[in-house]
Amino acid sequence: MRYLKWKLSHDVWGTYPVETIAAMGGRANTSEYVDGDGYRIAYLWEDVDISALDSAWDVTEPTEAEALAFCQQFYADAEVLPGGTISGPPPDDV
């Protein structure tokens, strides 16, 4: 698994490259963390060439440590789980 960081097309909402990655033969899932500039962390499960993605999404490939640090801005106790995804806060009690 690889980590990706991309910008949503309209700041904190809009399109993102999940469908484009799927058309390239890959699978990407987004994390719940989005910063005020519209950047979010995602997970890429297959080895695809991200250089072909639209530059409007500003896709980069952070290290695990960089992805974790990004997520810890929003949830200080976030940690990398055994499968490589990054944990989120526990659900609110109902």
Structural domain boundaries of the chain?
Answer: 2-72
Tens-of-pLDDT digits for all 94 residues of the chain? 999 999 887 766 667 888 899 999 999 998 988 898 889 999 999 999 988 888 888 999 999 999 999 999 999 999 999 999 999 998 877 5
pTM of the predicted model as reported, rounded to 2 decimal places: 0.87
**Length of the chain in terms of residues written:** 94
